[in-house]
Amino acid sequence: MDVFIEKIVAKKKKLEDNLIVGGLILAGFAAIIAVFSVPVLAGLGPLLAGAIIFGVFYLSKSRNIEFEYAVTNGELDIDKIIAQRKRKRIFSANCKDFEIVAKVQSEHYNESIKQTAGKIDAASSIDSPGTYFALLNYKGVRTVVYFEPDQRMLNAFKTFNPRKVYE
């Protein structure tokens, strides 16, 4: 029997995201003022102002990030979706390779896991109550993956790796 489960999670915006968008808006406003204050560029002012506004809008939308989890017959694939227009695969592994899958807010999440060299953050927020971690050797590096699976995904992981999944 084939197993296929999908879930999309939107990343919560942090203070740094809001500061970047605010900085882009201020820089765009300053650039528009500069365009209209330079006599040589004043004739192209409306065209350049439109280009600046489009650039600010385009760059600020790129701070909207979602993660798509797909479990297919024991394979977990995580894609990063930027502004609903650009997709990039950031993680792909077989759940049989997981050393442990457990909630971040559990006794299984200890200092040695927190200090792991490789980290892939694919959760809306690490502080969310439904955030889990998976520990494995990924591309030759001991890596911890933060993600938010639903119950169907956890059941699929248990099917393929029953002794390593804790709820």
Tokens of residue 122, six digits: 């694919």
Query: Residue 78: its pLDDT value, please?
Result: 94
List the domain boundaries for the chain: 15-61, 94-164
Give 63-103 pLDDT, tens digit per residue. 899 999 999 988 999 999 999 889 999 999 998 889 999 99
Q: In this predicted model, what pLDDT tens digit does every residue of 90-139 receive, in sequence order?
A: 999 998 889 999 999 888 888 888 888 889 999 998 888 889 999 988 88
Q: Is the pLDDT of residue 1 over 70?
A: no
Q: Tokens representing 98?
A: 């997981």
Query: What's the confidence (pLDDT) of residue 10?
Result: 92
Q: Collect all residues with Cβ–Cβ distance below 8 Å to 93 and sequence separation of at least 6.
A: 75, 76, 136, 138
What was the pLDDT predicted at 45? 82
SS3 track for 84-124: CCEEEEEEEEEHHHCCEEEECCCCCCCHHHHCCCEEEECCC
18-49 per-position pLDDT tens digit = 999 999 999 999 998 888 888 877 778 888 88
Confidence of residue 3 (pLDDT cuts 50, 70, 90): confident
CA nearest to 86, candidates 70, 63, 120, 69: 63
